[in-house]
Structure 1
Amino acid sequence: MPEQGNMLQVAVVFLLAAVITVPLAKRLQLGAVLGYLLAGVVIGPSLLGLIGNPQSVAHVSELGVVLLLFIIGLELSPKRLWVMRKSVFGVGLAQVLLTGLVIGCVALLGFGQPLNSAVVLGLGLALSSTAFGLQSLAERKELNAPHGRLAFAILLFQDIAAIPLIALVPLLAGGSQGEGGDALNHGLRVLGSIAVVVVGGRYLLRPVFRIVARTGLPEVSTATALLVVIGTAWLMDLAGVSMALGAFLAGLLLADSEYRHELESQIEPFKGLLLGLFFISVGMGANIGLLFQAPAQVLGLTLLLVLIKLPLLIFIGRLGGGLDRRSALRLGLVLAAGGEFAFVVFKIGRDQGLFDAGLYDLLVLTITLSMAVTPLLLLLGRHLLKARPLPAREIPAEYSEIESDAPRVVIAGMGRMGQIIARILRAQKVNFVALDTAVESVEFSRSFGHVPVFYGDPLRPEILQAAKVEQAEYFVIATDDPDINIRTAELVSRLYPHIKIIARARNRQHVHRLVDVGAVAVRETYYSSLEMSRRTLMGLGLSQSQADARIRRFKLHDEQLLQAQHKVYDDAAKVMQSAQEARAELARLFDADREQEEAEKAH
């Protein structure tokens, strides 16, 4: 392909590679990121050579990381960042320094690298991939999990630390004496650009967005959003600052803006596409030929990198982040790979003479392979955690030692439903005990005062005995797992036949199975659906009394249908027939009510 190339042809190659490999990787449970990396390897110069010059798209692909950091900034606020300061500047700093020290010592003592090269190697490989880590957490919906929040804090500090590290590389390479003035000028440019972004974001952008919003043209709104992000990144790039960090700063300044959600919705589609392009460009840049020439060396270094970073991250997560073993392991698996900023650091190191071209290619391939291996490690880790479950947390004694004074009610499950039930019982001064198997739920409930919530599995008879279930009048099952609810109802009804059981049901089939074991079943969305229907009918013109009458009619009819279907609920054909007959009957009843109301109006 010519160097200038046909842009349409290049676009088709990228999109086709992504459309083929990403769904395949997702189907194999390897994650979208690995699919993009594989697509880049396939179309890059190492294999098919469909894109001859990977560097031609590298700069454009960095916009994916820029947009990602901008959206992350939007989702934060200065107040929230201040709350996270301990995780960002405490745990993040500890991770970079400790990991950099260990890897630097290995490079210095184990591989005979000079001291200045070892420092750059250690700090560069201590960085993890922001785009890769956050994308992997988002795919698994773990960004709000304890390890996800700590991973975000560490990655944020790494992005900040990349700036002085990039500035440090020429100094370690032994720059000339005249570079002191250049360093001063560079520092002034950085401070100036940050000041422009801060002042502009605070005083200029809101009036601009207000004017654009008044036009009512969505395409102008999209162009404005892209202008803010790309313009900030360009300004920071001119000043020699990380484009991604500049975009994060812009997003942070707009986090409290009334236009935050509009900006996020406009940027999100571009972010996903360009982030995919970034991972494709990483795959294209890998020198796969080196893997075949020296497989033991490449694979050995990749394994060594993961084996050094993984235990250090677990240690930092446990000691500095307060994570349990399960969450600390997940944190380590997400961040054990190298990062995209290492490519920049090592490229400057090569240009400054710290590394030769062969070592640079080896480092780039090692980082790329570590990224590619991470989805496999996450998949393996998930299976291992399922096969050999670890305690969800180190359970404090006061959580597991159940103390109760003859509870009248025992609640299993302190999610959304369980919390409301507990609040009402507490306000009514009814003695109760609540059980939950998630330490986070126990901590959250206890944070509101002396709520009698304890860590315990309601499927274990000894836990039920410790909760003094035999003295209770009601056992309320409110967990969000239908199978656990049914098994708990069966166990409680067998061990304590005198107790009344009220259980949360997902649907009509679960209602029937709970009724079979003697529980009163309450459908989790039933009453909220009735209230939404009542308000909709009133909005459509019915009076409040008419809407109330329709809802009462439906409830009575549905309860009768549920009782009738309970006799045949294991026969799908009979259930379907009864549902069809009931639908027609309900319509007739509503028609009769309507005719009666019209007759009463006529009189």
Structure 2
Amino acid sequence: MFVNLLIILAASLLVIALFRHLKLPPLLAYMSVGLALGPGSLGWLQHHEDMPLLAEFGVVFLLFSLGLEFSLPRMLALRRVVFGLGSLQVIVCTLPLAGLLHLAGLALPAALLIGGGLALSSTAIVTKELSSLGEVFSSHGQNSIGVLLFQDLVAVLLLTMIPVIAGGSEQAWYWALPITLGKAALLFAGLLVASRWLLPRLFHEVAQANAPELFVLLALVIVLLTAWLTHLLGLSMALGAFLAGMLLGESHYRHQIEADIRPFRDVLLGLFFVSVGMLIDVSLFASHGLLILAMTLALLLIKGSLVALLVRLRGGDNEAAWRSGLTLAQGGEFCFALVAQAQQVDLLPAHLSGLILAATFCSMAVTPLLLRAAPQMAARLSQRPHAEGRAEEIAGACAEHEQHVLICGFGRVGQSIGRFLRREGIPFVALDNDPIRVQEAAAGELSVHYGDSRRGELLEALGASRARLLVVAADNPEHALETVKQARKLSATLPILVRTRDDSHLASLQEAGANEVVPEVLESSLMLASHALVMLGLPERRVQARIDEVRLDRYHLLHGFYHGTSANLLDQQGRPRILLHAVNLSADAYACGRPLEELRLSELGVELQAVRRAGDELTLADNPLLREADALLLTGPLDAIERAEARLLAGTQ
């Protein structure tokens, strides 16, 4: 075992460095190491009885980390996706795949079992890639996570059914099913009790001791203990770890826990992907290469198209449907375990199991590349060019805008300018290329769109030729320069104000047509907002009065910002940043039908900035009765915002 680990770590070090140079994801490097060095190829790595268990802990840590990002109220909000879309996906994908296996010579019960295994997707790959791309909370990300959670339950049931179908168990399936579900409910109840009363006290005591190693040990013990308890109950260790992480996600220590276990998670997850690659016999690719390719394409096409169809039928738009389909199209790690156990009890011939494992491996290997190309592929599959379709949507939304302000880059600075413009009643539209920030901002703003401001067609769709001012607040100077050039092509008279980090690009921006360039090292976002107001024709005395008012109010107007994919949630001193977050009330939200004061949000550590209804801002002093589709803008630290969201949506906290 020691020699195996040494070879794996040394080879992974070299291959990951090569893959990073080629801009390929690390998990492909790990799987390539297992494929190249495993028993079916060079033979440097040999199967060891402890290797699968050690590798499975990588998935356990990954699911625990993912659980930390999902609070219980958010999970309750996902119940329709988990049990609705999840159950439909498993059923609809299992039937055609089982039919093909039955035509290939498998008995019908075995075909249904293996077809169900192929219907499952890779929890490890999808969750890791969605996290790295910042798409966990996008619409297709939420669909994928919800379906994967249901698939984990199904995987446990399928593994339980193998002895029943093979005739080696005395327990009938109609007894095995409710017993397994009962165990899952018992586990959830036990973890819920522990997370409410026991674990907060433990973490508090450890934090008081001010010993970092104790905190790390406690985090590791919790992850491994929940996995062990789940294993004792005959359930998936990854499922138990996710439940534990989800319940701990409501604690104040979630970010510290996630930071502590990240190194263990990444290394163990790498071992998991190496073990996946070791299961494949390379000689199969030489002897049955075309058949494996056909099986891989069939798996991806069948699952991807069926998932997209289900999402579309449930009311999702075309892009979200196809991106959900591409995300869940691959086979999963549970299929490897299912095929291996089915082969042991003679449910599956050896030659067919090898082909299934090879096709599943190939589908998993191409998934990271599919997810990176998903936006363009989804746009083509939905039968419209990506940029053109985006421009048409934006043009339709901005058709009535005249004499407005364009803000390119809706980060902290862009948002500060937008708040001043809103206070003065000046209409504005913003464009940003961070999908998470746009999703966050769009929940509370009616004028924030996703797109690359360097594209002339998008600026034209935003009405650049009709605008009063263009503010380029992008952080990248090259992007800002290209945006100015594209805007100047559309209008020779449009005033352009540019924010830069320093004055190194001052001359090039002025040559491209920028009227004002404000270096960030000399001017704060407050001063940039004052320039924008002066350029819009407001009296300087009035602008100065506004600036003085904000300063006198200790910059209350500028508190919080919509976080994006790469936002750091801690300041340089390690303290939580003050964030701005919009909560949209659904029809079954706890806050609907209740007066604002009854919710007592201030006692949770957040401040309510505004309540917006159909584009209008309500007067908070009137204690309005909240309704469906109201957007509440909250500011505060992340943990306080999550507590407030839990109260608004589910009535907890």
Question: TM-score normalised by the shorter chain: which range applies?
Answer: 0.7 to 0.9
Change (3 A) 1:525 1:101: farther
Cα distance between partner residues in 1 of 2:264 and 2:20: 21
Match of 2:44, SS state, is: coil
Q: Which residue number in structure 1 is paired with residue 298 of structure 2?
A: 304
**Contact 1:407 1:468 survives alignment (8 Å):** no
Q: Which residue number in structure 2 is paired with residue 504 of structure 1?
A: 499
Cα distance between partner residues in 2 of 1:178 and 1:27: 53
Change (3 A) 1:469 1:111: same
Deviation for aligned residue 1:389? 5.1
Change (3 A) 1:329 1:17: farther
Q: Does residue 342 of structure 1 match 2:323?
A: no
Q: Which residue number in structure 2 is paired with residue 246 of structure 1?
A: 240
- The TM-score with structure 2 as length reference comes to 0.70
Deviation for aligned residue 1:125? 0.4
Identity %: 34
Cα distance between partner residues in 1 of 2:453 and 2:220: 50
Deviation for aligned residue 1:412? 4.7
Match of 1:522, SS state, is: strand
Q: Which residue number in structure 2 is paired with residue 538 of structure 1?
A: none
Q: Does residue 143 of structure 1 match 2:136?
A: yes
Aligned partner letter, 1:37: M
Match of 2:243, SS state, is: helix
Change (3 A) 1:522 1:87: farther
Cα distance between partner residues in 1 of 2:357 and 2:154: 20
Aligned partner letter, 1:150: N
**Contact 2:34 2:273 survives alignment (8 Å):** yes
Aligned partner letter, 1:512: A
Q: Which residue number in structure 2 is paired with residue 287 of structure 1?
A: 281
Q: Does residue 427 of structure 1 match 2:423?
A: yes
Deviation for aligned residue 1:501? 2.6
Q: Does residue 232 of structure 1 match 2:218?
A: no
Q: Does residue 222 of structure 1 match 2:216?
A: yes
Q: Which residue number in structure 2 is paired with residue 522 of structure 1?
A: 518
Deviation for aligned residue 1:305? 1.5
Q: Which residue number in structure 2 is paired with residue 476 of structure 1?
A: 471
Q: Which residue number in structure 1 is paired with residue 258 of structure 2?
A: 264
Q: Which residue number in structure 1 is paired with residue 396 of structure 2?
A: 400
**Contact 1:350 1:356 survives alignment (8 Å):** yes
Deviation for aligned residue 1:524? 4.5
What do residues 44-89 of structure 1 show as CA deviations (whole Å, max 9, x unaligned)? 2122322322443011110000011111111111011122223333
Q: Does residue 23 of structure 1 match 2:22?
A: no
Q: Which residue number in structure 2 is paired with residue 587 of structure 1?
A: none
Moved more, 61-70 or 258-267: 258-267
Q: Does residue 56 of structure 1 match 2:50?
A: yes
Cα distance between partner residues in 2 of 1:514 and 1:444: 30
Deviation for aligned residue 1:253? 1.4
Deviation for aligned residue 1:306? 2.0
Q: Does residue 436 of structure 1 match 2:431?
A: yes
Cα distance between partner residues in 2 of 1:369 and 1:155: 19
Q: Which residue number in structure 2 is paired with residue 197 of structure 1?
A: 191
**Contact 2:305 2:325 survives alignment (8 Å):** yes
Deviation for aligned residue 1:476? 3.0
Cα distance between partner residues in 1 of 2:361 and 2:301: 16
Cα distance between partner residues in 2 of 1:212 and 1:439: 37
Match of 1:322, SS state, is: coil
Change (3 A) 1:277 1:429: same
Q: Does residue 322 of structure 1 match 2:316?
A: yes
What do residues 169-193 of structure 1 show as CA deviations (whole Å, max 9, x unaligned)? 4444456655579737666555544
- Out of 381, 386, 389, which is 1:390 matched to? 386
Match of 1:287, SS state, is: coil
Q: Does residue 207 of structure 1 match 2:201?
A: yes
Change (3 A) 1:320 1:510: farther
Aligned partner letter, 1:11: L
**Contact 2:66 2:242 survives alignment (8 Å):** yes
Q: Which residue number in structure 2 is paired with residue 357 of structure 1?
A: 350
More helix by share: 1
Equivalent pairs counted in the alignment come to 521
What do residues 225-248 of structure 1 show as CA deviations (whole Å, max 9, x unaligned)? 111111111111111100000111
Match of 2:39, SS state, is: coil
Q: Does residue 47 of structure 1 match 2:41?
A: yes
Deviation for aligned residue 1:107? 2.2
Cα distance between partner residues in 1 of 2:288 and 2:304: 24
**Contact 2:410 2:432 survives alignment (8 Å):** no
**Contact 1:43 1:284 survives alignment (8 Å):** yes
Cα distance between partner residues in 2 of 1:292 and 1:461: 48
Match of 2:504, SS state, is: helix
What do residues 112-141 of structure 1 show as CA deviations (whole Å, max 9, x unaligned)? 432212211221101111111222334444
What do residues 372-413 of structure 1 show as CA deviations (whole Å, max 9, x unaligned)? 233455567688789995248677868625354752645455
- Name structure 1 gaps, 5 residues minimum: 532-603
Q: Which residue number in structure 1 is paired with residue 88 of structure 2?
A: 94
Match of 1:261, SS state, is: helix
**Contact 2:120 2:332 survives alignment (8 Å):** yes
Change (3 A) 1:151 1:392: farther
**Contact 2:300 2:363 survives alignment (8 Å):** yes
Q: Which residue number in structure 1 is paired with residue 158 of structure 2?
A: 165
Change (3 A) 1:396 1:97: farther
- Out of 132, 138, 161, which is 2:125 matched to? 132
Cα distance between partner residues in 1 of 2:430 and 2:106: 57
Aligned partner letter, 2:337: V
Match of 1:527, SS state, is: coil
Match of 2:244, SS state, is: helix
Change (3 A) 1:449 1:70: closer
**Contact 1:413 1:434 survives alignment (8 Å):** no
Deviation for aligned residue 1:490? 4.5
Cα distance between partner residues in 1 of 2:42 and 2:219: 37
Aligned partner letter, 2:143: L
Aligned partner letter, 1:436: L
**Contact 2:496 2:514 survives alignment (8 Å):** yes
- The TM-score with structure 1 as length reference comes to 0.75
Change (3 A) 1:239 1:288: same
Moved more, 287-296 or 42-51: 287-296
What do residues 398-454 of structure 1 show as CA deviations (whole Å, max 9, x unaligned)? 862535475264545555433332321221233x34253769677766654666989
Q: Which residue number in structure 1 is paired with residue 542 of structure 2?
A: none
**Contact 1:392 1:439 survives alignment (8 Å):** no
Change (3 A) 1:445 1:227: closer
**Contact 2:498 2:514 survives alignment (8 Å):** no
What do residues 264-318 of structure 1 show as CA deviations (whole Å, max 9, x unaligned)? 1221110000000000111112222333343333333223222322322333454
**Contact 1:306 1:337 survives alignment (8 Å):** yes
Moved more, 276-285 or 495-504: 495-504
Cα distance between partner residues in 2 of 1:390 and 1:453: 14
**Contact 1:401 1:454 survives alignment (8 Å):** no
Moved more, 459-468 or 110-119: 459-468
Match of 1:429, SS state, is: coil
Aligned partner letter, 2:239: L
Cα distance between partner residues in 1 of 2:461 and 2:386: 24
**Contact 2:12 2:29 survives alignment (8 Å):** yes
What do residues 125-168 of structure 1 show as CA deviations (whole Å, max 9, x unaligned)? 01111111222334444434443343223222222332233333
**Contact 1:150 1:321 survives alignment (8 Å):** no
Cα distance between partner residues in 2 of 1:259 and 1:454: 33
- Out of 148, 153, 162, which is 1:155 matched to? 148
Change (3 A) 1:34 1:402: closer
Cα distance between partner residues in 2 of 1:275 and 1:333: 22
